[in-house]
Amino acid sequence: MSERERISERMPDVAAGGAWSPEEAALLASDPDLAAEWALVQAARRVGDRAAASIDGARVAAAVLARLRAEPSAPVVLPLRRRRLVSYVAPFLAAAAVVMIAVWTGRPRTSAAPAATVLVPLPELDELSSDELRSVLRSLEERVASPDGEATEGLESPSAAELEAALETLEG
Amino acid sequence: MGSGVSAEPRSDAELVRAWQGGDEAAAAELVGRHSTALARFLAGLGADPGELEDLVQEAFFRAFTRLASWRGDAAFRSWLFTIGGNLARDHHRRGKGRGTVVELDERDAVVSGDPGSELEASDAEARLTEGLARLPRLQREVFLLRAQQGLDYEAIASALDTTAGAARVHYHRAVKRLKELVR
């Protein structure tokens, strides 16, 4: 790195409260391009100062806390990776649950409404291996069927617990 | 804590943990510590001054409700800038950005000390603000995080989900372009 580049790299730190050495200051004074860059960085330190001066931190804090208190309940906090997985898996879990209901209830397939939901395209399924798919369906199967073979309710919107259980099987 | 002599100020991570344990004062301290820096950053991105406080409030609200996604190894402020940057982007996409037109008259109002040099500084700042609006988003954000906020490239990379090397390249491209625009 040349001396010129080094000075360029140091500019934000010096603008934040550092100091130039006499040699650096001399180079800055003799190099118009470097001096223009230094003026730019100094101006950048001031950008937004005026607008930010009107911000009252205490008022913002009070408003934020009031909103947080007004939240009906603390958000369900899942680690990032798991949340991504949930959002990814949830749609086909819900659709798979519908399929399972149709199979388990054993309703006659009339021509009126032949389980159109089964035909929902699920491109996400292509991403899963056979084993993963089997695991997901197995975990749903355990939860779908009650002891007498009837489907449980609310399967179109799997509960957090159901999703968690299904995710356990995916994550090993 | 209970002693009369206050110890070193609590770190951001300690304040976050305290807030998660129900300490509202810790949350208020975090807001007080970072709200001005966040507001300056958002203003630099082109946020309307009249909406700045709402944006800052929204950014903190989102931060506190999404603390699970904060990697404790990254600085809280960098992470807050990530949220603020996303917020500003969404806001701008919805057409609420002000287009970064800076009225010189407005800037003249605060002149103090040497009027000549103050006016010159204000003029440079106004031209820089206009120049910033013409930069690609990533260059603008990197430039502000480095030159305005003083973050190092690692912290910028963490805030913008890129690499330190890429952040450095974006910074120098921004500087080059701004020198042309501001001249």
A148 three-class SS = coil
What amino acid is encoded at A123 in this protein?
P
Total beta-carbon pairs less than 8 A apart between chain A and chain B: 129
Q: What is the pLDDT of residues B141-155, one digit of tens each?
A: 999 999 999 999 999
ipTM of the complex: 0.79
Beta strands in A28-97 (DSSP E): none
pLDDT of the residue at A86? 55
pLDDT tens digit sequence for B71-84: 777 789 999 999 99
In whole angstroms, give the CA distance from residue B1 to residue A84.
39
- Reported as a single tens digit per residue, the pLDDT across A51-106 is 999 999 999 999 999 999 987 544 444 444 555 555 666 666 677 776 776 666 66
Q: A52 CA to chain B: closest CA distance, Å?
A: 5
Contacts of B182 in chain A (CB under 8 A): 40, 43
Radius of gyration of the CA atoms of chain B, in A: 18
The per-type count for chain B, helices as H runs and strands as E runs, is: 9, 0
**Crossing angle of the two packed helices B164-182 and B153-160, in degrees rounded to 10:** 100
pLDDT of residue A76: 42
Spatial separation of the C-alpha atoms in residues B154 and B169, rounded to whole Å:
13
Q: Do B66 and A15 touch (CB under 8 A)?
A: no
**Is B27's CB within 8 Å of A64's CB?**
yes
Residue B133 banded pLDDT, cuts 50, 70, 90: very high
Residue A108 has pLDDT above 90, yes or no: no
Binned at pLDDT 50, 70 and 90, residue A167 comes out as low
Contact between A118 and A100 (Cβ < 8 Å):
no
> Which of A40, A48, A71 is nearest residue B40 as measured by Cβ atoms?
A48
